[in-house]
Amino acid sequence: MTYNWQRHPAYQAAYSGPNSLHANAETMYTFSVDAFLGFRPWQDGEVYLTPEVFQGMPFSGNLIGLGGFTNGEITRAAGPNPTLYRQKLFLRQTWNNGGGTEHVESDLNQMAGWHDKNRFVLTVGNFSTLDVFDPNAYAKDPRTQFMNWGNMTYAAYDYAADARGFGWGFAGEWYRDDWVLRYGRMTGPETPNGLPLDYAIGSHYGDQLEVEHAHTLYGRPGAVRVLGWRDRANLASFSDALAWLNTHPGSYTGPDALNAVRTGVKTKYGLGVNIEQEISDSAGFFMRAMKADGRTETYAFTEADGSFSSGLLIKGDQWGRHQDNVGLSLMRNTISADRRRFLEAGGISFFIGDGRLNYRPEDIFEGFYSWSLARDYWLTADYQRIQNPAYNADRGPIDVYALRLHVEF
């Protein structure tokens, strides 16, 4: 169970548009209850089911006005009334191939047991791309670690999924000594950022390929991952949308230009690097950097074509609080020249659009303290400062304060 409450005070804004985060003081919240169920139907086979009850309301009544949104759970917000739905249903099959054995602890979507260090793992069904790709020990789970989207994965990673962040597909993982090779294909939405899925996975999809290498640096474990991805879907290009705006002058309150030119299949792609490194018994460093081509509209994640995040996660061992954690992070999100010109001309996209744009990179600081109240109970205080929200130097900065309660049974 996770409850996340956030507030931002009023902030300075020279002007606002249809997709601007409201400049007056606001609060938002998310509340989720998940049941992680699994069983082994046969040797080395695992089936997982995750039903979820979710409710929540974003700032400004809609998910708008930022590149790096402040709550990683908000994608599943369904309004003020609790909504029950099936989040995941998938099969995981492991083929062991020697190299010694290692023990796996029980965790979310993972049953305790033993497997070979060298193995092939196939995941098939309804799950999230992020369940398999882009792992990082220090910045991944917005229920227990950092809250900002730019710390749960690359902000520029436009991975295929429905509006809640899930889809249908498959992923294969080949583990060999210190190396891991991953490949997967997932369904995306029927229309960009929508909830209904497009099941034509042979023609519209998101592919990802990731290579990971584990290493030891000065006696401390770490890992480097390189991830490439490609989406193929019915998408609008920003150059076409800008041309449409120039021939249809007016004031728009929605993504009219993008809707008008979304007439054919296009491909978008990106490449990123993910590093994690233990630096002491109680501290770890992480870094992610990604660049996407930025020619087409956002398919399923957020409005960023380049992203960088880096930080530290520190355990409370040094002050006698082993289960406590402190996190500190800096993030920078950027957009492509094509997206920038579209927004400068008054274009409105799915998440952002101030009616004009004085472009600057969106810079974010996040810091949190997670306090272990009792076994499996954590209370977290979080602070985020967002400079140039939605890449606009004429708005902000924004201060966001948050409290999060997380309980596991």
Joined tokens for residue 355: 């009616």
Task: Give the pLDDT score at 181.
Answer: 99
> Between 238-247 and 337-344, two packed helices, what is the crossing angle to 10 degrees?
20
Task: Give the pLDDT score at 261.
Answer: 97
User: pLDDT digit of tens for each residue in the chain (409 aa)?
Assistant: 999 999 999 999 999 999 999 999 999 999 999 999 999 999 999 999 999 999 999 999 999 999 999 999 998 887 889 999 999 999 999 999 998 999 988 888 888 999 999 999 999 999 999 999 999 999 999 999 999 999 999 999 999 999 999 999 999 999 999 999 999 999 999 999 999 999 999 999 999 999 999 999 999 999 999 999 999 999 999 999 999 999 998 888 899 999 999 999 999 999 999 999 999 999 999 999 999 999 999 999 999 999 999 999 999 998 999 999 999 999 999 999 999 999 999 999 999 999 999 999 999 999 999 999 999 999 999 999 999 999 999 999 999 999 999 999 8
Paired strand residues for 226: 211, 273
Please report the domains of the chain, with CATH numbers, ordered by start residue: 13-21+120-407 (2.40.160)
Per this entry, what is the length of the chain?
A: 409
The CA distance from 37 to 131, in Å, is: 15
Question: Which residues of 35-117 form beta strands (DSSP E)?
Answer: 37-42, 45-57, 79-96, 101-104, 113-116
State the DSSP string of 118-172: SEEEEEEEEE-GGGTSS--SSS--TTTS--SHHHHS-TT------TTS-EEEEEE
The CA distance from 388 to 157, in Å, is: 21
- pTM, whole model, 2 decimals? 0.95
